[in-house]
């Protein structure tokens, strides 16, 4: 009985909160011109209204390295600018290749693609409001403009986000397995790099190329476990790394064999 | 006298051997893992979620027996996403709703993750079809988990690594691979995207080959506006999708028309049994196309397969010749044993010798053949079967390039041995294959 009352209270508090937000956003919406706005104009206003958000963007990779400003994700109009940025498509335009393909082919990505038209994208990125997570649901959870999936946020944040739909134990076990899978991929990377170092030379740059493959396939395992794509964990990941190791061994074998022959005293 | 002795002793020995064989298989399935090698491995903690019947254990932190209303009340706070999903599902909207406890049980310390048998309690038509698929053998959905755990590399590799295998192969052990929880919407499962999480990537680019075909292009352009609540029968869809062809009429039996067996091995497409399958295909294509046209497409697929196998056989022969001349380097006894070990170390070449597990711990030329067979060949096959001409061309071009590489490598190996005799690796070089951060770890953790 105690528990029931507690949840009722909880629901009431949440309802009031949502009402407050609606009133707030409607009144805010009225004061803002429709646009278009430049990034500087957005920042001039939002630096006061949402200082944390602007600071997070400034300190993050988007602002610093790649000159991705407000308009890149939100467009230059004020109306529906948040809804627009929440959709996976606004990220995929830049984050192409394995980074997004591992997501779009995952179950989360598929459900998100198929349900996109039915989804109300004006809702904030919170548990219970999205059937499947889009890029922003996990990486900009609840509108946080730092990467909520970044390692320095700690495992608790990541696990909290997934727990909106999955049981705490399920999430914990999946993350623990992901860590073990990555450790295994790292062992393969280490094995390959040790082999390459043992060759001592790389005449045609073959080993350097093979090393690039190792690094790429190790990254695929990361995308695979992060985006829950079995295909990237496996076919683009682990067995691809196994293949890299075989080819590295074969190239190193040839180098060492050549050395053995040239070291042999002439008869 | 001697003849009489043989006449009853021989059958007795055969009978004993058969009984011993069965007993051995029965015994070997009794270990901590599952399947034929169950005594060689125990599962990663996460495997219970992919194979609940064998490995799921309920949590014990929450005590009590709950009715659905209470489950919902609590989980609305803990995991609101699944409650919203369930509310939107047909399970919640029918007169007598199917609630949490119907599938999961109501004792929180003995919860179950629903297996196909649980879903089958109500959906018995679909469940019956699904179970009955086993009679078509591999490859199929219902036997997929057996296929995964009975692979030597599954038993051999670290269990955390091969969890990626069982995620897709769990199509045999759970229904939510296609009917995602907790909405379980058939309209979603009918869309091609429902299949692509597993049917993608180098060995089975079903997604790429279908989306690039004429059928797939129509779907991509117009599919969004189709009424996906309609059953998978004639006249309901403008272009066929994965499910329309492979599960026509909603029949939960994807292997029911499986003719070329995934392109994994060569088959005779004209046996009387396969003639029945061909007729099933033609009957299906006739929903939209002329019978003659459908028969022609099947003949074209046969032709493509013949060409592919000609290339593959050539590569396989080259490898087997190198093996009998003892020229593969390093040889089987100079590298970690074939996944799972064997009494006689031997290089495994070709489908029937276990090529599917021979993608690591092997020499470069064997890996080249693995990729030619498993990636290039299957890519060509999928493209041919789905009607993507450019993909067929691409697959065959890749196969030709692989064949060239294998040929060059074979020449090189023969060149090393001028008198045609086995070349042992120099002792300083054998370590190259036997040691390494992962190789050592794998030896200890399988």
Compute and round to an integer the Cα radius of gyration of chain B.
26
Check: CB of residue B433 under 8 Å from CB of residue B388: no
The tokens describing A90, both together, are 């606004």
The tokens describing B66, both together, are 């709950």
Q: How far is A265 from chain B (nearest CA, A)?
A: 16
Residues of A in contact with B208 (CB under 8 A): none
Mutate to test the interface with B, among A182, A188, A246, A247 (most CBs of B within 10 A): A246
Which of B133, B123, B116 is CA-nearest to residue B247?
B133
Mutate to test the interface with B, among A177, A240, A256, A264 (most CBs of B within 10 A): A177
Provide the pLDDT for residue A249: 95
Residues of B in contact with A128 (CB under 8 A): 76, 80-81, 83-84
Mean pLDDT for chain A? 87
Check: CB of residue B209 under 8 Å from CB of residue B391: yes
- The verdict on A2 touching B (C-beta cutoff 8 Å) is no
**Residue ranges of A 8-27 with Cβ closer than 8 A to chain B:** 10
Provide the pLDDT for residue A12: 58
Provide the pLDDT for residue B403: 97
Cα distance between residue B329 and residue B424, in whole Å: 8
Q: How far is B14 from chain A (nearest CA, A)?
A: 41
Cα distance between residue B56 and residue B54, in whole Å: 6
Q: Which of A7, A239, A260 sits opposite B359 (nearest CB)?
A: A239
**For residue A119, which phi and psi values (nearest 5 degrees)?**
-80, 140
Which of B253, B207, B220, B243 is CA-nearest to residue B383?
B207
Compute and round to an integer the Cα radius of gyration of chain A.
25
Provide the pLDDT for residue A154: 86
Give the mean pLDDT per block of 10 residues along chain B (446 residues).
81 93 91 92 95 93 93 94 96 95 95 96 96 94 96 95 96 96 95 96 95 97 95 95 95 94 93 95 95 96 97 97 92 89 88 93 96 97 96 97 96 81 72 91 84
- The model's confidence at residue A6, banded by pLDDT at 50, 70 and 90, is very low
Cα distance between residue B88 and residue B323, in whole Å: 60
Cα distance between residue B311 and residue B48, in whole Å: 42
Count other C-beta atoms under 10 Å from residue B140's C-beta: 23
Residues of B in contact with A184 (CB under 8 A): 158, 160-161, 438, 441
Q: How far is A152 from chain B (nearest CA, A)?
A: 24
Q: Which of A163, A188, A249 sits opposite B432 (nearest CB)?
A: A249
Under DSSP, the state recorded for B423 is -
Cα distance between residue B48 and residue B65, in whole Å: 23
The tokens describing B62, both together, are 């929450």
Look at residue B435 and give its three-state secondary structure.
coil
Instruction: Tell me whether residues A224 and B164 touch, CB distance under 8 A.
Output: yes
- The verdict on B12 touching A (C-beta cutoff 8 Å) is no
Cα distance between residue A169 and residue B160, in whole Å: 17
Check: CB of residue A256 under 8 Å from CB of residue A197: no
Check: CB of residue A229 under 8 Å from CB of residue A181: no
Provide the pLDDT for residue A155: 87
Residues of B in contact with A246 (CB under 8 A): 360, 362-364, 367
Alpha helices (H) in B60-211, listed in sequence order: 68-78, 80-88, 90-93, 100-104, 116-120, 124-132, 144-149, 152-156, 163-169, 186-190, 193-196, 206-211
- The model's confidence at residue A4, banded by pLDDT at 50, 70 and 90, is very low
Higher per-residue confidence, B415 vs A35:
B415
Q: How far is B85 from chain A (nearest CA, A)?
A: 7
Higher per-residue confidence, A67 vs B287:
B287
Instruction: Tell me whether residues B429 and A105 touch, CB distance under 8 A.
Output: no
Interface confidence, given as ipTM, is 0.93
- The verdict on B168 touching A (C-beta cutoff 8 Å) is yes
Count other C-beta atoms under 10 Å from residue B25's C-beta: 10
Cα distance between residue A113 and residue A105, in whole Å: 10
**Residue ranges of B 38-97 with Cβ closer than 8 A to chain A:** 44-46, 49, 59, 73-74, 76-85
Instruction: Tell me whether residues A127 and B85 touch, CB distance under 8 A.
Output: no
Longest dimension (CA), chain A: 95
Instruction: Tell me whether residues B77 and A176 touch, CB distance under 8 A.
Output: no
Residues of A in contact with B437 (CB under 8 A): 187-188, 190-191, 194
Alpha helices (H) in B152-260, listed in sequence order: 152-156, 163-169, 186-190, 193-196, 206-211, 214-222, 242-246
Q: Which of A106, A194, A230 sits opposite B437 (nearest CB)?
A: A194
What residue segments make up the domains of chain A, in order of their start?
Answer: 34-162, 169-263
- The verdict on A253 touching B (C-beta cutoff 8 Å) is yes
pTM attached to this predicted model? 0.91
Burial of A114 (0-12, 13-18, 19+ CB in 10 A): buried
Residues of B in contact with A169 (CB under 8 A): 59
- The model's confidence at residue A260, banded by pLDDT at 50, 70 and 90, is confident
- The verdict on B378 touching A (C-beta cutoff 8 Å) is no
Q: How far is A48 from chain B (nearest CA, A)?
A: 33
> What are the C-alpha distances in Å from B148 to residues A235, B162, B174, B305?
14, 9, 15, 26
Provide the pLDDT for residue B421: 65
Mutate to test the interface with B, among A222, A243, A259, A262 (most CBs of B within 10 A): A243
Q: How far is A230 from chain B (nearest CA, A)?
A: 5
- Residue B266: cis peptide before it, omega within 30 degrees of 0: no
Cα distance between residue B364 and residue B435, in whole Å: 17
% chain A with pLDDT above 70: 86
Count other C-beta atoms under 10 Å from residue B14's C-beta: 10
- The model's confidence at residue A238, banded by pLDDT at 50, 70 and 90, is very high
Residues of B in contact with A256 (CB under 8 A): 428-429, 432
Cα distance between residue A267 and residue A76, in whole Å: 79
Check: CB of residue B201 under 8 Å from CB of residue A236: yes
Query: What integer is the mean pLDDT of A150-179?
Result: 92
Provide the pLDDT for residue A2: 42
Cα distance between residue B329 and residue B321, in whole Å: 13
Cα distance between residue B175 and residue B201, in whole Å: 22
Count other C-beta atoms under 10 Å from residue A10's C-beta: 12
* DSSP line for A198-267: HH---TTSHHHHHHHHHHHHHHHHHHHHHTT-HHHHTTTTHHHHHHHHHHHHHHHHHHHHHHHHHHSPP-
- Residue B149: cis peptide before it, omega within 30 degrees of 0: no
The tokens describing B278, both together, are 């061909």
- The verdict on B427 touching A (C-beta cutoff 8 Å) is no
Q: Which of B188, B194, B201 sits opposite A236 (nearest CB)?
A: B201
Please give the angle made by the CA atoms of A82, A83 and A86, to the nearest 5 degrees: 85
% chain A with pLDDT above 90: 69
The tokens describing B428, both together, are 């300083």
Look at residue B146 and give its three-state secondary structure.
helix
- The verdict on A116 touching B (C-beta cutoff 8 Å) is no
């Amino acid at each position: 009985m105690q528990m029931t009352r507690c949840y009722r209270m909880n629901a009431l508090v949440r309802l009031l909160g949502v009402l407050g937000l609606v009133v707030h956003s409607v009144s805010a919406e009225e004061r803002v011109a429709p646009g278009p706005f430049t990034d500087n104009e957005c920042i001039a206003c939002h630096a006061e209204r949402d200082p944390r958000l602007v600071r997070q963007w400034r300190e993050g990779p988007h602002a610093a390295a790649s000159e991705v400003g407000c308009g890149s994700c939100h467009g230059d109009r004020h109306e529906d600018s948040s809804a627009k940025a929440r959709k996976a498509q606004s990220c995929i335009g830049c984050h192409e290749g394995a980074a997004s393909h591992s997501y779009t082919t995952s179950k989360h990505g598929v459900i998100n693609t198929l349900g996109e038209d039915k989804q109300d994208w004006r809702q904030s990125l919170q548990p219970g409001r999205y059937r499947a997570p889009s890029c922003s649901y996990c990486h900009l959870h609840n509108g946080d403009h730092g990467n909520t999936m970044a390692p320095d946020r700690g495992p608790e944040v990541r696990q909290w986000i997934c727990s909106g739909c999955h049981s705490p134990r399920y999430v914990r076990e999946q993350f623990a397995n992901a860590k073990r899978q990555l450790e295994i991929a790292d062992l393969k990377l280490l094995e390959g790099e040790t082999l390459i170092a043992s060759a001592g030379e790389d005449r045609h740059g073959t080993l350097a190329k093979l090393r690039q493959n190792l690094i790429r396939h190790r990254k695929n395992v990361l995308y695979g476990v992060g985006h829950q794509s079995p295909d990237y964990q496996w076919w683009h990941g682990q067995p691809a790394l196994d293949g890299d190791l075989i080819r590295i061994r074969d190239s190193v074998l040839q180098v060492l064999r050549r050395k053995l022959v040239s070291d042999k005293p002439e008869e | 006298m001697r003849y009489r002795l043989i006449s009853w002793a021989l059958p007795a020995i055969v009978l004993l051997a058969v009984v011993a064989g069965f007993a051995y298989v029965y015994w070997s399935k009794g270990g901590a893992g599952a399947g034929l090698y169950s005594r060689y491995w125990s599962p990663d903690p996460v495997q219970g979620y992919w194979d609940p019947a064998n490995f799921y254990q309920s949590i014990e932190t929450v005590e009590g027996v709950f009715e659905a209303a209470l489950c919902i009340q609590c989980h609305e706070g803990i995991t609101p996403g699944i409650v919203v999903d369930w509310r939107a599902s047909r399970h919640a909207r029918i007169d007598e709703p199917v609630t949490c406890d119907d599938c999961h049980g109501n004792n929180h310390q003995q919860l179950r993750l629903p297996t196909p048998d649980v879903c089958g309690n109500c959906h018995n038509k679909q469940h019956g079809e699904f179970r009955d698929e086993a009679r078509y053998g591999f490859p199929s959905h219902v036997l997929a988990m057996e296929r995964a755990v009975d692979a030597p590399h599954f038993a051999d590799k670290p269990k955390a690594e091969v969890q990626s295998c069982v995620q897709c192969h769990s199509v045999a052990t759970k229904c939510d691979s296609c009917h995602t929880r907790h909405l379980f919407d058939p309209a979603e499962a009918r869309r091609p995207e429902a299949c692509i999480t597993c049917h993608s990537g180098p060995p089975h680019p079903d997604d790429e080959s279908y989306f690039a075909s004429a059928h797939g292009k129509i779907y991509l352009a117009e599919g969004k506006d189709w009424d996906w609540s309609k059953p998978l029968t004639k006249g309901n869809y403008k272009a066929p999708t994965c499910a329309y062809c492979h599960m026509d009429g909603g029949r939960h039996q994807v292997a029911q028309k499986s003719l070329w067996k995934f392109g994994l091995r060569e088959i005779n497409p004209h046996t009387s049994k396969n003639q029945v399958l061909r007729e099933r295909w033609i009957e299906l294509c006739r929903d939209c196309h002329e019978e003659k046209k459908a028969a022609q497409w099947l003949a074209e697929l046969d032709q493509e397969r013949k060409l592919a196998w000609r290339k593959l056989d050539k590569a396989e022969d080259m490898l087997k010749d190198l093996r009998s001349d003892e020229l593969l380097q390093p040889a089987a006894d100079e590298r970690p044993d074939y996944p799972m070990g064997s009494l006689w170390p031997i290089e495994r070449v070709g489908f029937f010798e276990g090529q599917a597990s021979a993608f690591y711990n092997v020499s470069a030329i064997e890996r080249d053949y693995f990729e030619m067979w498993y990636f290039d060949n299957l890519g060509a096959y999928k493209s041919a079967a789905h009607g993507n001409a450019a993909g067929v061309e691409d697959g065959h071009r890749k196969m030709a390039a692989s064949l060239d590489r294998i040929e060059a490598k074979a020449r090189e190996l023969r060149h090393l041995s001028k008198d045609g005799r086995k070349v042992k690796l120099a002792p300083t070089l054998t370590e190259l294959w036997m040691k390494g951060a992962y190789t050592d770890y794998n030896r200890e953790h399988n």
